[in-house]
Amino acid sequence: MRAIVKAIDRLNEYVGRAVSWLVLTMVFTTFLVAVLRYGFSLGWVWLQESYVWMHGTIFMVAAAYTLLHDGHVRIDIFYSNVRERTRALINLFGVFFLLFPSLAVIWWGALPYVVLSWERLETSREAGGLPGLFLWKTCMLIFVVLLALQGLALAIRSLMTLRGEDADGEGQEQEAGAGS
């Protein structure tokens, strides 16, 4: 199980770092659009769409990276002042009763939408827009898969914590005075 957790973590670390370069590209593109539009009265729909697509891609594809690094918003009233075992239980509850059901609904809604887009090889509706809208829509499914994998890694890590194991390889001592 430890190997599965490490493999998922490595995958999402790699994907997150790769997608992070889109942030720089998006900022540069947005700057370029503004300079061209307001400085030279030039503009292209495809260039404007490109930074919108980059923005969406960053959020969808890097969501699992954010979960890997515990960057999602949570209610710290319950989480920050509890023992590690209690955090593990909260994480298990969150993964199985919140994350996985939400991802299932997203997958169920997005799959026909993405399949239809691929069947049509959908492009932008805007004249002069980007081709390959079907590729961008596929990011919704990538979002679900990567986030589900990272949720699985979190669940396994939480189970290992509850069993007194360390997900990184060494056993850990039971918390002093910790009861079940």
Total-model pTM: 0.85
- Backbone angles phi and psi of 165, in degrees to 5: -105, 160
121-143 tens-digit pLDDT: 999 999 999 999 999 999 999 99
pLDDT given for residue 169 in this prediction: 63
As a whole number of angstroms, the distance between CA 151 and CA 103 comes to: 10
- For residue range 76-101, list pLDDT tens digits in order: 777 778 888 988 999 999 999 999 99
H or E element that contains 55? helix 45-61
Nearest to 61 by CA among 116, 118, 5, 23: 23
Give tens-digit pLDDT for 63-77: 999 999 988 777 677
